[in-house]
Amino acid sequence: MAVPEYATTGGATMKAVVTTGNGGYETLDYRDVPVPVPKPGEVLLQVLAAGVNNTEINTRLGWYS
């Protein structure tokens, strides 16, 4: 996974589930990633909970590729 150009260089990290390709659950990777730093005119929000919907499942399975 490429780190976005706006990623922090201060060493702060956060947890993320990264999709590494199409396929089953084995393509999901739980890892530490750099905390992004917002550019001017952007904001950074703290997410306390997240969910997965049908579109995300279908994308992971490759139905939209």
Q: What pLDDT score was predicted for residue 25?
A: 77
Domain residues of the chain, as ranges? 13-60
Q: What CA–CA distances, in Å, run from 50 to 11, 16, 17, 44, 53?
A: 24, 11, 11, 16, 10
pLDDT of residue 50: 83
User: For position 9, what pLDDT does the model report?
Assistant: 54
pLDDT means per 10 residues, the chain with 65 residues, are 53 87 81 92 90 78 76
